[in-house]
Amino acid sequence: MAAKRPLPVIFFRTASGNEPVREWLKRLPSDERRLIGEDLQVLQYRWPLGMPLVDSLGDGL
């Protein structure tokens, strides 16, 4: 049984249905995509996290 992901990863979607961040990720070399995917997985399964892995972007983000 797969572990529940406490923090889902949701990509921004435009009104027309495009996902610019996902499209950008797909254009990266596979080794860079893998590293970003590993970081997202850490966020999903080990949330809540703090510095140095995660910090506020400001204004409530």
Band of residue 61 on the pLDDT scale cut at 50, 70, 90: low
pLDDT digits (tens, 9 = 90+) for 3-29: 676 788 889 999 999 999 999 999 999
Helix (H) or strand (E) holding 7: none
pTM attached to this predicted model: 0.70
The two three-digit tokens of residue 50, written as one number: 């703090």
Plot region of 59 (φ>0 → left; ψ -120 to 50 → alpha; else → beta): left
Q: What is the largest CA-CA distance in the chain?
A: 38
pLDDT of residue 46: 84
CA distances from 26 to 6, 11, 49 (A): 25, 13, 26
